[in-house]
Amino acid sequence: MKEAELVIVGAGPAGLSAAIEAAKAGVKVMICDENQRAGGQLFKQIHKFFGSRAHQAGTRGIDIGQNLLNEVEKIGVDVKLDAVVWGIFSDRRVGIVHEGKNTLVKAKKILLATGAAENVLAFPGWTLAGVMGAGAIQTMVNVHRVLPGKNVLMIGSGNVGLIVSYQLMQAGAKVAAIVEAMPRIGGYAVHASKVRRAGVPILTSTTIKEAKGKEKVEKAVIIKLDDKFKQVAGSEKEFDVDVICLAVGLSPLAELAWMAGCKFTDVPELGGLLAIHNEDMETTVPGIYVAGDIAGIEEASTAIEEGRLAGIAIAESLGYINAAAAKEQKQQIYKRSDQLRDGPFGIGRRKAKEVLISRSLKQ
Amino acid sequence: MDMRIEEHPILGTLKKGKAVKIEVDGKPVDAFEGEPVAAALMAAGKTVFRYTRKRKEARGVFCAIGQCTDCMMTIDGVPNVRTCVTAVKEGMKVKTQIGTGEDGDTSK
Amino acid sequence: MTLIKDGFFDADELKILPGVPSEERLKKGPVVVIECAQQIPCNPCEEACLKGAIEIGESIVNLPKLNADMCSGCGLCVAACPGQAIFVVDMAYSQTEATVQLPYEFLPCPKEGEVVAGLNRAGEKVCDAKVLKVLAPKKFDRTAVIKIAVPKNLGMIVRNIQLKNSDKED
Ligand SMILES: Cc1cc2nc3c(=O)[nH]c(=O)nc-3n(C[C@H](O)[C@H](O)[C@H](O)COP(=O)(O)OP(=O)(O)OC[C@H]3O[C@@H](n4cnc5c(N)ncnc54)[C@H](O)[C@@H]3O)c2cc1C
Ligand code: SF4
Ligand code: SF4
Ligand code: FES
């Protein structure tokens, strides 16, 4: 059986950042991603990111992704693309199908950085062609440069719904409206203002009632919700659209952590059931770490910090960095992460992370 | 109907691989080598990729990352190929799939 | 309240922001208007201003605070803001007109001299606007900054443009 010091599953911002830190310290890293290109979600994000200079604020997601890839290449990490990790077995054996061939690798440490999966919403007509996930639309529009339709109804006003609406307009589509079941807009006001002044209505306390069409979406019917989230009969409105985009949240993609026997806990603020991890990002199974959206739905900026943290902690536990040096680097990461997890949108996530970590102490 | 985004304010002018032809339900369709089959079909305005086995409901691209199987079609006689994660090759024969497409027969 | 329900500011909400200059300062000439109202972790505007007119401070979720007397209205911070929340307004441009500089990331990009529609924060057409300048240096990283002239009473109203021949109008 092949052996590796560190196998990282997922080459998004979290996985790549961990690979960079660990490899810099001397760890021999293998990073696997199922796609043909590394970078995870970043190559769909063509907008400028928030944060401070230390978090590459003002830089577009695609360029942050390219910077990470350049660094990975410079350090010479073993990046395996078209490599699906399908199982984690006892003694940290990792089952990989790489370019169609099945291999088993025994790792000293494993980092799961698999990101998140999109939530779906079922409603009459939701299986019609033209009802698509926000991630699918971003992939088609920003990566493959094809519009899935010309008139779009967006479901969900979180940052994803707002940003994808803006990106659809940049690509030349019209966004008929953004509907939101809650009585207030979910995402940042600056993102909302951008689409509003481009003429897109954001309809709060509203949901999709039905998608109509023979085989593909031809119309969308929306309806008002009262303060108990009950549909208000007679308040329907119809839009002529050919695409309905679902942007109704993300959930951690944690099957591999289940398989590995990690203990889970429910933390709604971070997207639901999460593998419990400690301050080093290590789960309840020794030697198995998590970082990024799998460890709580947040942002690329926080995913990068968590990846770095895991990379350093792993290098330390393998003896490549001494405790004092590791401690100093970790302190800086904690500080930068706290900066991001602050303010009305972030403080809840910081508290939730603290709860998650405190639960690891009880194990 | 061409749904390709030729010019983009952030991504610039479209640069793609070699221009090739594929065959979709017997008709020629322009595509670029290496792009997902689903992208080429969508660019040509095709949105229905298959019909379900029992109720013959239409399905199209839903996730675009190989997870939902809604986009499966019969390619070069092989049924159930996820077109969103399958790269275009010159001369590929793509068929709208009815049901499981097991016998390769996709006629109604 | 309109901000979190409708996605844009009403005039009163705007006035209380630390990034929005006073009416007296607006009357004096070009100055930045920072329409950033929520404590999000973000501070590139502070760094973009070479004159030190924008202050966020140690905690990056602080709202950007404008020292309006130090601001020359140069517009360097407009493209640097990832939220596209920064505008430069010159209420003293002429007897009848004010100018607005705004970020723009759509195609086609308007040309200097072109007459476009001026849109308010809700995306409604409120006037004709003349494009005075289009700045898109490499440093702005694909965010163009468009300077338009609008009727004076609309200097604090117009926040977007729409091209006349654009098929988006319907
Ligand atoms: C519309 C939108 C806008 C956003 N805007 C911002 C923003 O402005 N600022 C910001 O900081 N963040 C933003 N984000 C969030 C950011 O993209 C994510 O938080 C971030 O990408 C998470 O990083 P990750 O490394 O955890 O996961 P991902 O980026 O999802 O990467 C995970 C990778 O693992 C791969 N993978 C999964 N399972 C396996 C397996 N079994 N085998 C092999 N490979 C596997 C996946 O294919 C993927 O490539 C945005 C997200 C969206 C959708
Ligand atoms: S307009 Fe110029 S001087 Fe004024 S805040 Fe912006 S960068 Fe500073
Ligand atoms: S850069 Fe823009 S979004 Fe960020 S704090 Fe400054 S004004 Fe607000
Ligand atoms: S669209 Fe989901 S598998 Fe292809």
Strands (DSSP E) contained in C83-159 are 86-90, 97-104, 115-119, 125-135, 144-151
Over chain A (363 residues), the average pLDDT of each successive run of 10 is 96 98 98 95 96 94 97 96 96 96 97 97 97 97 97 98 98 98 97 98 98 97 97 98 98 97 97 97 98 98 98 98 98 96 95 95 79
Distances (CA, A) of A51 to A60, B46, C95, C147: 12, 40, 41, 27
d(CA A156, CA A185): 9
**What domains lie within chain A, and their CATH numbers?**
2-117+250-362 (3.50.50.60), 121-246 (3.50.50.60)
Residues of C in contact with A339 (CB under 8 A): 41, 59-61
Atom of ligand 1 nearest to the CA of A302: 11
DSSP character at residue C79: H
Q: State the distance between the two ends of chain A, measured CA to CA, in whole angstroms.
A: 32
Confidence of residue B107 (pLDDT cuts 50, 70, 90): very low
Identify residues of A whose CB sits under 8 angstroms from chain B CBs: 34, 46, 60, 117-118, 127-133, 135-137, 139-142, 144-149, 170-172, 214-216, 242
According to DSSP, the β-strands at B50-51 and A243-246 are: unpaired
Distances (CA, A) of A265 to A110, A113, A352, A355, B38: 20, 18, 11, 10, 38
Sheet holding B97-98, edge to edge: B58-59, B50-51, B97-98
Distance from CA of A205 to the nearest CA of C (A): 9
Confidence of residue C125 (pLDDT cuts 50, 70, 90): very high
Distance from CA of A214 to the nearest CA of B (A): 9
d(CA A122, CA A137): 18
Residue B6 included in any domain: no
Residue B9 included in any domain: no
In the prediction, which pLDDT does C2 show? Answer: 83
Size of interface B-C (CB pairs under 8 A): 9
d(CA B19, CA A286): 51
User: The whole model's pTM is what?
Assistant: 0.96
Query: Is a pLDDT exceeding 50 seen at residue C170?
Result: no
Residues of C in contact with B7 (CB under 8 A): 107
Instruction: Give the A window 39-98 contacts with C, CB below 8 Å.
Output: 47-53, 57-60
CB A252 within 8 A of CB A296: yes
Tokens matching residue A261: 């026997």
Q: Distance, CA A91 to ligand 2 centroid (Å)?
A: 58
Which residues, listed in sequence order, are joined to residue A151 by a DSSP beta bridge? Answer: A174
Q: C87: closest CA among C99, C97, C102, C98?
A: C102
Mean pLDDT of C51-73: 97
Instruction: Give the chain C residue whose CA is nearest to the CA of A203.
Output: C6
Query: Is a pLDDT exceeding 60 seen at residue B108?
Result: no
Q: Do B8 and C106 touch (CB under 8 A)?
A: no
- The protein residue with its alpha carbon nearest to ligand 3, atom 3, reads C83
Instruction: Give the chain C residue whose CA is nearest to the CA of B10.
Output: C142
Neighbours of chain B (3+ CB pairs under 8 A): A, C
- Among B37, B46, B84, name the best residue to mutate to test ligand 4's pocket (greatest count of ligand atoms within 8 A of Cβ): B84
The three-state secondary structure class of A265 is: strand
Q: State the distance between the two ends of chain C, measured CA to CA, in whole angstroms.
A: 29
Domain ranges of chain C: 11-162
The number of angstroms, rounded, from the C-alpha of C70 to the middle of its chain's C-alpha atoms is: 17
In the prediction, which pLDDT does C168 show? Answer: 47
Mean pLDDT of C20-32: 97
In the prediction, which pLDDT does A248 show? Answer: 97
3-class secondary structure for A23-83?
HHHCCCEEEECCCCCCCHHHHHCCCECCECHHHCCCCEHHHHHHHHHHHHHHHCCEEECCE
Residue B8 included in any domain: no
Confidence of residue C16 (pLDDT cuts 50, 70, 90): very high
- CATH code (residue B30): 3.10.20.440
Q: Which domain holds residue B43?
A: 18-98
Q: Do C7 and A192 touch (CB under 8 A)?
A: yes
According to DSSP, the β-strands at A219-224 and A237-240 are: antiparallel
Size of interface A-C (CB pairs under 8 A): 129
Mutate: best of C60, C86, C120, C166, partner A, most A CBs <10 A: C60
Tracing tokens 């002429």 back to the chain, one arrives at C94
| Contacts of residue C137, Cβ cutoff 8 Å, sequence gap at least 6 | none
CB atoms within 10 A of CB A231: 14
Mutate: best of C42, C55, C107, partner A, most A CBs <10 A: C42
Instruction: Give the chain B residue whose CA is nearest to the CA of A247.
Output: B63
- The protein residue with its alpha carbon nearest to ligand 2, atom 3, reads C71
- The protein residue with its alpha carbon nearest to ligand 3, atom 4, reads C42
Query: Is a pLDDT exceeding 60 seen at residue C167?
Result: no
Q: A314: closest CA among A25, A58, A116, A45?
A: A25
Mean pLDDT of C2-10: 89
Q: Do A53 and C119 touch (CB under 8 A)?
A: no
Residues of C in contact with B8 (CB under 8 A): 107
d(CA C83, CA C75): 15
Residues of B in contact with C109 (CB under 8 A): 9
Distance from CA of B68 to the nearest CA of C (A): 33
DSSP character at residue A111: E
Q: How many domains are contained in chain B? A: 1
Mean pLDDT of C147-154: 98
